[in-house]
Structure formats: C-alpha cells, structure tokens
Amino acid sequence: MAATAINKHPVPEGARITICEVGPRDGFQIEASFIPTKKKIEIINALFASGLRHMQATSFVSPRAVPQLADAETVLAGIDRPEGSMITALIPNLRGAERAVGAGVDAVHTVVSASETHNLKNVNRSIDTSLMDFEATFALLDRAGVAVEGGIATAFGCPFEGVVPPEQVARIARRYQDLGAASVGLGDTTGMATPATVRAAVQAIRAEAPGLGIGLHFHNTRGVGLACVMTGLAEGVTHYDASVGGLGGCPFAAGATGNICTEDLVYLLNESGYDTGVDLDALIAAAMLTQEVLGRDLPGQVMKSGPRLRRFDPGLTEGATG
C-alpha cells in the first residue's frame, strides 16, 4: 500500500494537543526498588495539578510478572481525579480487564505486537491468537462502558525482525476497529521510529481503517522522539503519550530506553503554538518530585534548564563562554 499525500491533514496552530502521561505505568514498571504506594499517588496528583488530564496510572498485569504495580487498585482508589480527567490502565487479558473495570478506570489500553517474534516473546502467542483472545475482553469492556485503545507495539520496527511493514500495522489497526476500539496507539517499543516510518504507518492506517483515532507513543532511544512528534503533527495526529522525566523502557526489548519526556514535549508544543493545557513550571515541579522519590537523575532536559525565557540575576552568575 503506497502512502499518499491525500491522507495528510496537518494540525493547525493553536489546536489542543492531548498528552497522556504514562510514567506511572510505563516508567514505574521497570523500577527495581518498590516505589511506596503513597509516593506513587503523590506523583500522580502532582502531574494532575500541572494540568495534565489523561493519565495511564497503572497496569492490571499479574503481580508476579510486574511486582512494582501490584498495588494498582490501591493507587487508583487514592488518587485525586480532577474534573475532565481520563484514567487509563494497561490490561493484558480478560482477567486484567475485570480488575480494571472493578477499579473504575475510564479506559484501558491493550497491546499486541506488530512483530510476530516480539509478540511470541512478550505473551507467547501469535498476533492472530492475541487478537482473537481480545474478543471476550472487548465484549466485557463494552458492557461496562469502558473505552478501549488498541495498542500496537513495535509499530515502527522490531529488534528481532527489523522492518515492520506499515501494511502489517494497518491490518492490526483494522482488526482493532472491527473489535470495537475507538482508537489505536502506535508504540515505538524499541525507539526505532523515524519520521519516514511514522508517516508511512499513519497514512497506511488512514487508508485501511478510516475514522479510527490514532495516538503515538515514542521512545527516545536514538534521540529522534520529538522529531517524530513533529511528523505526527504534520499528519494530523493530536494524541501523544509521554513520561515524566523521560522514565520508561521495555523490559522485553533489548536496548530500549525511556519514553519521550513529558516536560520536553510540553515545551516543544507550547513553543510551536499548540495548546496543551499544561503549566510547564508545575510540570517541572512534578518531574523534580519524581526524581527525588526515585533517588537518581532523570534524563529530561527541560526539567534541568527550565523554560526558554527563564530569567537569571546577572549578579549571581559567573561569566561564561560558548
């Protein structure tokens, strides 16, 4: 399927861009030391206080597989839920969906890999079997009135197979649409996305599954995460995942590093004339809190340097060159 310019609808300046904060799930899940539940709640509330309204707060996976998120129900019961907020969680299967519904989430995120090898390594199933297994899950969520975003991992490349054809991504997206998903999220699981692969995948989905919403989830493994965001904007995509401080990475993908950083993304979007609804200073404060809780420096850049027009007292700074 050839990508054509006819699918291109750039996001106009001033448009509202939706940012889903995924740090409390995607970031926390790979932390070796257990983060106290109260601290998780404190960080999520600080992120909400910055103006973020979409929050992937946890995951309903087996506590044996991801012990860091064994407190999913307790976290969701303890967080503040501002007006207009959207609480989402990752679910792997029907049991996870049942737990998510019981905990009162607004939406769930399912995942299947676009690469057969990665899907087998991740969940020990073929892609078609995974999608078939989702039928009962989607039926349950439909009865409960919980929205579904169908996640597609390794959407821009696989560390085992290399190139993932955009037609394969589009086929999975169409299957999700047939199951009842209102949108799909394309995951750059190993940081292999480039502007060209993003453009091809988005246009292929638009051709194969018209009307299906598209979200983009980039990692910054090779330093081009925000460049891929700009390509997504040029293709009309208005929903992006990001992680506070640049936390994250995939435990099942060799070489993967953190997600694009929420503060860096907000800075880029605000400075490019888009509306995020987020107070950057408050978001930086939430990132600093996260860094303090984890006890190590985080890779985010804007949390270190501050906004572009930050002012300094010339009497308190030393001379510098460069």
pLDDT the model gives residue 1: 40
Query: Quick check: is 318 in a domain?
Result: no
Q: How far apart are CA 187 and CA 32, in angstroms?
A: 23
Structural domain includes residue 308: yes
Predicted confidence band of residue 288 (pLDDT cuts 50, 70, 90): very high
Percent of the chain whose pLDDT exceeds 70: 92
Q: What is the mean pLDDT of residues 216-222?
A: 94
The residue to which tokens 């019961």 are assigned: 77
Decide if 158 is inside a domain. Answer: yes
Q: Is 250 considered catalytic here?
A: yes
Q: What is the model's pLDDT at position 213?
A: 97
- Is there a contact between 24 and 55 (Cβ–Cβ < 8 Å)? yes
The pTM (predicted TM-score) of the whole model is 0.93
**pLDDT beyond 60 at 305:** yes
Residue 61: Cβ within 10 Å count = 22
Pseudo-torsion of CA 133, 135, 140, 145, nearest 10°? 130
The total of structural domains in the chain comes to 1
Residue 7 included in any domain: no
In a domain, 321, yes or no: no
Provide the b/e sequence for 264-285 (b: ≥16 CB within 10 Å): bbbbbbbeeebebebebebbbb
Q: pLDDT at residue 43 above 70?
A: yes
What is the residue whose two structure tokens read 């601290």?
39
Output the 3-class SS for 142-183.
HHHCCEEEEEEECCCCECCCECCCHHHHHHHHHHHHHHCCCE
pLDDT at 239: 98
Residue with tokens 């050839």: 2
Question: Structural domain of residue 18, as residue ranges?
Answer: 12-312
Segments in the chain forming alpha helices (H): 37-49, 72-78, 94-103, 116-123, 127-144, 166-179, 195-208, 225-234, 262-271, 280-294, 302-305
Q: Would you state the pLDDT for residue 319?
A: 56
Which pLDDT score is estimated for 2?
40
Looking at the domain assignment, is residue 6 inside a domain? Answer: no
Helix axes 94-103, 127-144, angle to 10 degrees: 30
For β-strands 18-21 and 54-59, DSSP reports them as: parallel
Report pLDDT for 3.
41
Catalytic residue among 20, 158, 250, 261: 250
pLDDT recorded at residue 312: 67
Helix (H, G, I), strand (E, B) or coil at 247: coil
Mean pLDDT score of the chain: 92
Number of helices and strands in the chain (H, E): 11, 8
* Residue 157 belongs to some domain of the structure: yes
Residue 6: which pLDDT band, with cuts at 50, 70 and 90?
very low
Provide the CATH number for the domain around residue 134.
Answer: 3.20.20.70
The values of phi and psi at residue 161, to 5°, are: -105, -15
- Percentage of the chain exceeding pLDDT 90: 85
2 within some domain: no
